[in-house]
Amino acid sequence: MTGMKNQSKSGPVWDQNFHDDFARLLQWRRDVRRFDTRPIDEDILIDCLRLAVIGPSVGNAQPWRLVRVRNEARRQKIYDNFKRANADELACYEGEQRMTYGALKLAGLDDAPVQISVFVDNTTTVGHGLGARTMPEALAYSVVGMMNSLWLLLRSHGIGLGWVSILTPDDLGRDLDVPDNWTFVGHLCIGYPMQTSVTPELVACGWQDRLDLEDFLLER
Ligand SMILES: Cc1cc2nc3c(=O)[nH]c(=O)nc-3n(C[C@H](O)[C@H](O)[C@H](O)COP(=O)(O)O)c2cc1C
């Protein structure tokens, strides 16, 4: 297998080529908001989803719940939800920052061929509560980890993902008719990107630069 040197007792060992490729994948993963409307390969999508859901979860609770939104009327309701929430967000900024915010494209809801709304089931009995009693939020953290894997997996196939959080969760849950015990985590727009870049869009437009590791890392 390319990138894998040999098998050892501790499992596969990956070579430098793999490390270089994996680093490139991390560097080139982008939040995508402009999509080519051509459909993506269904087998690739399903393979990526199957791999993403073997990810780690607290107590192995696997609390992720996915709603693939195909219905046009429901898609329109999500888009309307975004437009309302985005208008409220815009009103929070002033001056030049408001102008910059107003010029940003903050969702690919108008063109992404695939849309998946992701929820966490906070009441699941799978995993028997292990680890989630002390930290109930660990269930949502598990879902976020799965979503990040999906982001990378799709990108490795040249497919972009855009995470939309500028939405009112209660309205979204109602419009998708999901059980009351599911909590919204994020809405994912998926499709081939119109452009690719190593630079995040919010960095390119001057909204927010990247910080350095030293800005986050404490030594004690
Ligand atoms: C939890 C989460 C929520 C996000 N919500 C939005 C959103 O509503 N709209 C948007 O355009 N980007 C959203 N993003 C994307 C971020 O803006 C993006 O990840 C960040 O600017 C860094 O860019 P990059 O992902 O291309 O590296 C979200 C990302 C995360 C992780």
Task: Please state, in angstroms and rounded to a whole number, the distance separating the CA atoms of residues 47 and 66.
Answer: 15
Q: How confident is residue 2, by pLDDT bands cut at 50, 70 and 90?
A: low
Taking only the tens place, the pLDDT of each residue in 115-147 is 999 999 999 999 999 999 999 999 999 999 999
Sheet holding 160-164, edge to edge: 64-68, 114-121, 182-191, 160-164
Atom of ligand 1 nearest to the CA of 202: 21
Question: Is the pLDDT reported for residue 1 higher than 60?
Answer: no
CATH number 3.40.109.10 is the correct assignment for the domain at 31-206:
yes
Q: Is 195 in the pocket of ligand 1 (CB under 6 A)?
A: no
* Res 5: pLDDT: 66
pLDDT at 86: 97
Statement: residue 103 has pLDDT above 80: yes
CA distance 184 to 186: 6
Say how many C-beta atoms besides its own lie within 10 A of residue 33's C-beta.
Answer: 22
Residues 6+ apart with CB under 8 A from 203: 209, 210
Give yes or no for residue 161 CB within 6 A of ligand 1: no
What does the pLDDT read at residue 9? 77
Q: Which atom of ligand 1 is nearest to the CA of 32?
A: 26
pLDDT for position 11: 92
Please calculate the CA angle 53-117-92 and round it to the nearest 5 degrees. 125
Q: Whose CA is nearest to atom 29 of ligand 1?
A: 163
* 152 ligand 1 Cβ < 6 A: no
pLDDT at residue number 25: 98
pLDDT digit string (tens) for 11-54?
Answer: 999 999 999 999 999 999 999 999 999 999 999 999 999 999 99
Task: Give the other-Cβ count within 10 Å of 37's Cβ.
Answer: 11
User: CA-based angle 180:137:172, to the nearest 5?
Assistant: 35
Q: List the residue whose alpha carbon is closest to atom 6 of ligand 1.
A: 164
- The SS3 call for residue 202 is helix
What one-letter code names the amino acid at 128? Answer: H
Please name the amino acid found at residue 138.
A
pTM: 0.96
CB atoms within 10 A of CB 113: 17
Of 6-10, 35-39, 56-60, 212-216, the one with minimum mean pLDDT is: 6-10
pLDDT at 4 over 70: no
Q: How far apart are CA 69 and CA 204, in angstroms?
A: 31
Task: Kindly list the domain boundaries of the chain, sorted by start residue.
Answer: 31-206
CA–centroid distance, 59 to ligand 1, in Å, is 28
173 neighbors 74 (Cβ within 8 angstroms): no
Q: Name the strand (E) or helix (H) holding 133.
A: none
pLDDT at 8 over 70: no
In the prediction, which pLDDT does 118 show? 98
Report the residue among 84, 163, 172 best suited for mutation to probe ligand 1: largest number of ligand atoms under 8 A from its CB: 163
